[in-house]
Amino acid sequence: MITFFVCVCILVLGYYTYGQLCERIFGIDRERPTPATELADGVDYVVLPRWKSFLIQFLNIAGLGPIFGAVAGAMWGPVAFIWIVLGTLIAGGVHDYFSGMLSLRHGGKSFTEITGRYLGAPLMQLMRVLTFVLLIMVGTVFFVGPAQILADLTVGGMSVAVWSCVILFYYILSTVLPIDQVIGRFYPIFGGVFLLMTVALGVAMVYGGLPVPEWSAGILSTNQHIHPEKFPVFPMLFVTVACGAISGFHATQSPLIARCLRHEGQGRSVFYGTMVTEGVVAMIWAAISMSYFGGVRELNLFMDERAGNAAIAVNELCTGLLGRLGGLLAIIGVVVAPVTSGDTAFRSARLLLADIFKVSQKAIRNRLALALPMFAVAYTISMMDFAVIWRYFAWTNQTLATVVLWTVTAYLIRAGKNYWIALVPAVFMTNVVVAYLLIAPEGFSMPHAVSYLCGLLISTALLLYTFLYIYRKGKRPVSVRP
């Protein structure tokens, strides 16, 4: 279990070191007015205490990803620990901090509009499509999954359809009502439940002395997946473990909280800090998954026999470690996480449409006019196979994260700041998403060598586009005021 504790310590230290480096490169100004103070409207632009902003942002980003993704990622073995740690600090933390702070500096705008400012109109349109599709898929996944879990807990009572309607009704309220009336009131409670559940499982793992695998020589080249030829570590692991390392969905949530911060000094804890917290959550779930069933091989057999359904493994882990009552409470915590990401996904989609079509959101009829069609689309998508929705969600998620990193790189270049902090993860993630699309069974199933070469070519093309676009603009530093 030494490896587990070392990883957690590195994550915590990373917040105080790499997180501080991000803050210094960005250059915060605690006296600069924020959107919450300049554009206060009592609906979306509302000053919230930092502790509330932290819990809301954490619950926004911590859906099923750091749980289901970590359980599935554990099938590759301890190499998943490396990706969670490095992904969180060097990729995910950078992605979340700069996307949040750029939204803060640009009046709380959706990141799609910020992409257009720094990478041009074509990529802005691509980001609009990717973001909207991702948000609708997230909202759909995060009401179908919880509805199925709740239906299992109330056998003979409420069905999946009934629970789906209950959750959708809550989603409508949280999407159209002012942020401090529903989200601001209930998220601190939900956040406490979720964190308590995670801590309880971590304590049970340590107290029970579960045999968590340790790092060893050759860990980077070791693939313990039951189907290594179909699921190579690169790029499959880096898409499977998304929300516990880097996730484009986070950039869709940051503008919600960018509209609620009192000053820029709160950004590191609210944006980078929540990413580190999510990385710790993913570490706990990955470690438990690798050890509870007897080892990585046994986990693979368990998952393979159940068609890779991580929900079954989660239920088994919760009840096995915490007993019947504790397991029930833990499962409720697992339900809370996706529900509190699904509602803000729809809220973000509403704000995105409002930004695109310049529709004021002060009147509730305008909010309903944008929100209700989205719920109709989501309900239609929910009729599809859950596994298919999840796989396409994962790829779209990481593709969005990649574009966000390129946007951050372009901003840093034009502002005359250290752009390498974003460029390195941008190039890496470009290779990941291209190779995944070409290799994956749900993609083109192409040979690995060809897929890796295409990833390199496309990342190089994006690198050239970023620099050439900026030089075409004169490589002049830009004002970050809207």
Q: Is 423 domain-assigned?
A: no
User: What average pLDDT score do residues 114-127 get?
Assistant: 85
pLDDT at 284: 94
Q: Which residues of 38-65 are buried (b: 16+ CB within 10 A; e: fewer)?
A: eeeeebbbbbbeeebbbbbbbbbbbbbb
User: What average pLDDT score do residues 139-150 get?
Assistant: 76
pLDDT at 364: 84
Q: Give the CATH number of the domain where residue 60 resides.
A: 1.20.1740.10
Question: Which element (helix H / strand E) includes 442?
Answer: none
13: confidence class by pLDDT, cuts 50, 70, 90: very high
Q: Is 314 domain-assigned?
A: yes
User: What is the tally of structural domains in the chain?
Assistant: 1
User: What average pLDDT score do residues 142-159 get?
Assistant: 75
For 24-52, the pLDDT digits (tens) are: 999 999 999 999 999 888 888 889 999 98
User: What average pLDDT score do residues 413-442 get?
Assistant: 90
User: What average pLDDT score do residues 377-385 get?
Assistant: 77
pLDDT at residue 310 greater than cutoff 80: no
pLDDT at residue 190 greater than cutoff 60: yes
149 vs 396, more confident: 396
The structure tokens listed for 44 are 């979306």
27 vs 243, more confident: 27
| Contact assessment for residue 383 and residue 134, using Cβ atoms and an 8 Å cutoff | no
463: confidence class by pLDDT, cuts 50, 70, 90: confident
Q: Which region, left, alpha or beta, applies to residue 213 given φ > 0 means left and ψ of -120 to 50 means alpha?
A: beta
Q: Is 7 domain-assigned?
A: yes
User: What average pLDDT score do residues 368-378 get?
Assistant: 86
The structure tokens listed for 459 are 């990342």
The Cα 175–Cα 198 span in angstroms is 27
The Cα 180–Cα 183 span in angstroms is 6
Q: Is 345 domain-assigned?
A: yes
- Domain interval for residue 181: 2-16+38-405
482: confidence class by pLDDT, cuts 50, 70, 90: very low
pLDDT at 479: 47
pLDDT at 218: 67
Q: Is 27 domain-assigned?
A: no
Q: Is 379 domain-assigned?
A: yes
| Contact assessment for residue 223 and residue 232, using Cβ atoms and an 8 Å cutoff | yes
pLDDT at residue 341 greater than cutoff 90: no
Q: Is 274 domain-assigned?
A: yes
pLDDT at 32: 93
pLDDT at 379: 80
187: CB partners within 8 A, 6+ apart:
52, 55, 56, 59, 340
Q: Which amino acid is at 2?
A: I
Q: Is 309 domain-assigned?
A: yes
Among 95-104, 252-261, 343-352, which is the least confidently predicted range?
343-352
User: What average pLDDT score do residues 250-277 get?
Assistant: 93
Q: Which amino acid is at 268?
A: R
Chain-centroid distance of CA 157 in Å reads 33
For 45-89, the pLDDT digits (tens) are: 889 999 989 988 888 787 667 888 899 899 999 999 999 999 999
- In degrees and rounded to multiples of 5, residue 81 shows phi and psi of -60, -40
User: What average pLDDT score do residues 241-267 get?
Assistant: 90
306: confidence class by pLDDT, cuts 50, 70, 90: confident
pLDDT at 477: 45
pLDDT at 480: 45
The Cα 187–Cα 278 span in angstroms is 16
Give the highest mean pLDDT range of 38-52, 254-268, 309-323, 328-342.
254-268
Query: For the chain, what is the mean pLDDT?
Result: 85
302 vs 336, more confident: 302
User: What average pLDDT score do residues 118-140 get?
Assistant: 84
